[in-house]
Amino acid sequence: MNIDLKSISEIVQIFNEEDRNAIEAVVAESEAISKAVEMIVDAFHHGGRLFYIGAGTSGRLGVLDASECPPTFSTQPEMVQGIIAGGDVALRKAVEGEEDKPERGAQAVREYQLTSQDVLVGIASSGRTPYVLGALKEAHTKGVKTIFLSCVPPAEELKEYVGHFITPIVGPEIITGSTRLKAGTATKLVLNMLTTISMVKLGKVYNNLMVDVHASNIKLVERSIRIVQTVTGVDATIADTTLKQARGSAKIAIVMLVKNINRTDAVALLEKHQGFLRPILDDLKQMET
């Protein structure tokens, strides 16, 4: 209360204190988040996809998280997708009224052709966005695995068509009703975990290195070179040359170097191990000892 009367430094302190509440709320949902990741990984293993759907800030955060997967983990664009009420134009400015239309959410599920192999995460901080609820209802009728991420306790009727809930209860916002604040922070934290941990469990991370990074710009090429150097111990020139032979794949380049094999054989060896780098490197260590 009376935040408009406080100094800038006092308001900054208020934000810091309230953001800690958002983090604690996410921590309290650790078990629910773990279960959601298990659902997503299982879907990926069976050829399924992950979809986020939301309106406003919730929709934008879903699109953001999905769009980061291809460059970070070299996933195909269709593997993780974000859907926002009002379409791409809503990423930059509000599309009034779209979030109030459950039929639009249902239509999106049909347009993206979700199936029983897929997972749909509906994101609605308030727990009642009609667009999101419409999508979840339609998805349920198609056998899609449904997850609802909200910052309030779920209404009882949602359990009829939602299979799993993640509900970090962040409490009232600093500016009443502005869910882009604590609710937005909590949502981003949860989405970070859903995709990142899923990708770890698909073998796209070795130690804490993004070995499946898609080297699509100078910064990521340089990062790929450093990753290859870190794992193999070669100098930058050899790492760069091998990366080019591996068509930009740090993971393939690493296997080529540690096994002294060509790209084709490195790809085949990774396929044998379902894309996981660790068992290949562990085998090498055992041979050396």
pLDDT in tens, 224-244: 999 999 999 999 999 999 999
3-state secondary structure of 234: coil
Choosing from 29, 98, 99, 138, the catalytic residue is 99
Q: What is the pLDDT of residues 210-226, one digit of tens each?
A: 999 988 889 999 999 99
Distances (CA, A) of 281 to 224, 227, 229, 259: 18, 14, 14, 9
CATH of 3-200 given 3.30.1740.10, 3.10.110.10, 3.40.50.10490, 1.20.1740.10 = 3.40.50.10490
- Are 114 and 137 in contact, with CB atoms under 8 Å apart? no
For the question of residue 31 being annotated catalytic, the response is no
Domain with CATH 3.40.50.10490 in the chain: 3-200
Arch. (CATH architecture) of 218-288 = Orthogonal Bundle (1.10)
What pLDDT score does 289 carry? 52
Tell me the C-alpha distance between 248 and 190, whole Å. Answer: 30
Residue 34 pLDDT greater than 80, yes or no: yes
pTM of the model: 0.92
Sheet holding 164-166, edge to edge: 80-84, 50-54, 119-123, 145-149, 164-166
For the question of residue 99 being annotated catalytic, the response is yes
Domain with CATH 1.10.8.1080 in the chain: 218-288
Tell me the C-alpha distance between 240 and 229, whole Å. Answer: 9
Token reading at 56 = 């406003």
Distances (CA, A) of 39 to 32, 42, 238, 280: 11, 5, 40, 27
Percentage of the chain modeled with pLDDT above 70 = 98
Choosing from 18, 38, 68, 173, the catalytic residue is 68
What pLDDT score does 68 carry? 95
Q: What is the pLDDT of residues 274-288, one digit of tens each?
A: 999 999 998 766 665
Mean pLDDT of 230-259: 96
3-state secondary structure of 120: strand
